[in-house]
Amino acid sequence: MKEVYGKQCLARCITFRWRQRYDAGHVNIKYLPCPGQVHVVTNSAKISAVNELIRQNRRISTRQIAVELSISKGTVHHIIHKKLGYGKVCAQRVPKHLSENRKTVRMGVCMTQLFLS
């Protein structure tokens, strides 16, 4: 079969697995749902609670948020990055765009750190 089909040939273990399923009575050719990680389910209450915690303390970690709200770290990560669109800069969650005044202040802090070291 490898000579005829080349790289597109099925592995022997897959054909054996299909045969075992057929012998067990599974004659449907559609894929069965695989066990695995549950899809992340979020609602507006969880999203607003995470947003409120971040606004109170921008240095809060995902683990602390997960413990506070009794949800998984993966769900917290999904809410922060996908739903709220936050990113992390220097261990602090900040909006993506800074005003000119904030840029000047940050530049001044960086310059003083260079001269002190």
Residue-wise pLDDT for 47-102, tens only, equals: 999 999 999 998 899 999 999 999 999 899 999 988 898 887 666 666 666 778 88
Q: Is residue 93 part of a domain?
A: no
Q: Which of 70, 86, 68 is nearest to 78 (CA)?
A: 86
d(CA 59, CA 84): 16
- pTM (two decimals): 0.48
- The average pLDDT across 21-33 equals 73
DSSP-assigned states of every residue in 19-57: HHHHHTT----SPPPPP-PPPP---HHHHHHHHHHHHH-
Q: Is residue 89 part of a domain?
A: no
Tokens of 113: 């750190």
Q: Is residue 116 part of a domain?
A: no
Which residue range forms the structural domain that includes residue 17? 1-83
Q: What is the largest CA-CA distance in the chain?
A: 76
pLDDT score at 28: 72
User: Into how many domains does the chain fold?
Assistant: 1
pLDDT mean across residues, the chain: 81
